[in-house]
Each structure stands twice: as structure tokens, then as C-alpha cells.
Amino acid sequence: MTFIPSFPSDATVRTVMAQRPEIYRHWHQVGEGIMRGDSPFTPGERELIAGYVSGLNACAYCHGAHTAVAVAFGFPESLMPSLLDNIDEAPIDERMKPVLKFVRKLTLTPAQMTKADAEAIFTAGWEEIAVHDAVAVCCYFNFMNRLVFGHGIEFDPDPDKVRMLAERKKQLGYANRDDLPEDHPLVRKVRAGKEAISSSS
């Protein structure tokens, strides 16, 4: 049950954002840029970071949703529990390990960040912009986790619904479509994506 009396019992993040469209219209664009814009990290890797950060914060809503998107991008379902248990022993590309250690520390003990944390990312072969992009994903989901917790938004664990929404997020991304004309390319992409998802479900 949400904390806001006017919200339905099955409220989602979209319910929260609908309260202040003048704010979140821009926030959608921030999310699209961070999660789907040009980056040394693939969209799937960014979704993995999102699910991982949300798991560290014990945000079931964002952790469940974005872990599922990472799975839709090709990561195995068993990977996330392994990462949360022990990054060093998790079956993931070695280059991602210092990145995940970086966002773990930034999430749990941000005041303890040091230059060495960034240098570990460079040593693994990443370019400088990778540090910014890892920080941006980490910040974005620390914000979203608290938006969810603060409004009492609950996660619906129905696996079929989770998979459907994950596939939709994979195909359609984060941009707000509400104010776009019907002939806008993104609106056409949304329409085509929904039809593809419906036909495959």
C-alpha cells in the first residue's frame, strides 16, 4: 500500500511522476540520455548496474524491474545474486568488476571514495568517460530508489508481468512520449514495440 492516499494500491513510478509532469518531463530525457545514450557501457551493462545498485539499496521495485531488463539484454538470471554476494567470484567480464565495486562503494559509503577507485576502472581498460557514466547510472538509481521508498511504491513480482515490462523497457527506453505528436518517430517506435510485445506474449 502506498503512502499517498490518492494513489491506487498498484501505483507505479509513473503514478508518482504524473503528479509533477513539469518536472518529470525533463527527468525522462535525463534517463534516456544516461541509460540509452552514447556510452562505453552497453544498454545491458547499464541496466545491470541499475539492478545492482537497486539491490544494494534493497529496493525490490527497481532491483526486480531492472535486473529483468538486464536479463532481456542477455545477462543470465543467476548473475545478479552472484554479484550481490561476491563481485570477485561472479561470472562476469573482468572489466566490469572494478566498475561494480566503484558503484557499490559510491552507493554504500560515498564519502570514502578515493582516486584509487577510479584508477581501478582505468586499469581495467576503460576510458575516462566510463567513470562519469558509471557515476551517472549510480546516481540516477539512488534517486529512483528513494523516490520509490519515499512514496511507498511496491513491487509486483508476477514473473510474466515483469518479463513483459522488461521487454518493453528494452525496446522503448526511458524517454517520455506523452507530449509528442502521433507522427513523431518515437511515438511510432512505441506503437510498433507494443504491438511486437503483444504479439509475442
Distance CA 89, CA 83 (A): 8
DSSP state of 149: H
Phi, psi of 153 (to 5 degrees): -80, 130
Domains of the chain as residue ranges with CATH:
13-159 (1.20.1290.10)
Q: What is the mean pLDDT of the chain?
A: 92
As given in the structure block, the three cell numbers for residue 201 are 506474449
Distance CA 43, CA 36 (A): 6
Q: pTM score, two decimals?
A: 0.89
Q: What is the pLDDT of residues 2-17, one digit of tens each?
A: 999 999 999 999 999 9
Q: What is the pLDDT of residues 26-45, one digit of tens each?
A: 899 999 999 999 999 999 99
Distance CA 49, CA 35 (A): 10
Q: What is the pLDDT of residues 62-81, one digit of tens each?
A: 999 999 999 999 999 999 99
H, E, C per residue of 46-89: HHHHHHHHHHHCCCHHHHHHHHHHHHHCCCCCCHHHHHHHCHHH
Distance CA 46, CA 38 (A): 11
